[in-house]
Amino acid sequence: MMETTLYLKKCLCGCEKLYFGKTIQNINKYKGSGKDWVVHLKEHNMGYDDLFTYKFKNKEICSWFAIQFSLQNDIRKNKKYFNLKLENGRDGFIEGQSRKQETKDKISKKLKGKKKKPMSEETKQKLSIINKGKKMKEETKRKLSILNSGKNHPQYGKKKNVKKTFCAFCNKSYDNGNYIKNNHFNGFCLFK
């Protein structure tokens, strides 16, 4: 099982500011990834000091400690900390915490018009191998069926491309080619 390390770092430039975070990397080489923290370290180039590091093998205990520390020290609003969001010991985002509309708009604007890179053949092969043999649950099938029925169906409202077939003898047109085949054979027309 992988160890998660929670740490508290202090900038050595004399500002006395702190950064609380988590990593699964080597703590001796890891500087931290907070946006403001990284910019501050680059600007002052004075380094940092680890005030404490705690290693956890149990994710629940790690998460509990990170949330408790974040809330007790109010790291998001406290001017002593560089943290922009609460730390949860997992991904830095606490459940129930919502983004501001301004942030959502920025993300939306940045992603609009961007196309995803096409998958390489190698990636397609790997995904094919991974997904072979997987069976969908009946409940999932039912939900997908409901989701793709009626107006939600991709073909809803689209006209089908139907070729009209004409009889060479009687000059009648039929949308269904099978009707012509059944009533016309060997150059003989039943309706002639």
- pLDDT computed for residue 6 by the predictor: 92
Identify whether the C-beta of residue 5 lies closer than 8 Å to the C-beta of residue 53: yes
- pLDDT computed for residue 173 by the predictor: 65
- pLDDT computed for residue 183 by the predictor: 60
Identify whether the C-beta of residue 37 lies closer than 8 Å to the C-beta of residue 56: no
Please report, for the chain, the start and end positions of each structural domain, with discontinuous segments joined by +. 4-96, 163-192
- pLDDT computed for residue 76 by the predictor: 86
pTM: 0.49
Q: What is the mean pLDDT of each run of 10 residues along the chain (192 residues)?
A: 85 89 87 87 86 89 90 90 86 65 87 84 91 89 89 80 67 59 58 57
- pLDDT computed for residue 139 by the predictor: 92
Taken in order 60, 66, 67, 72, is the CA torsion positive or negative? positive
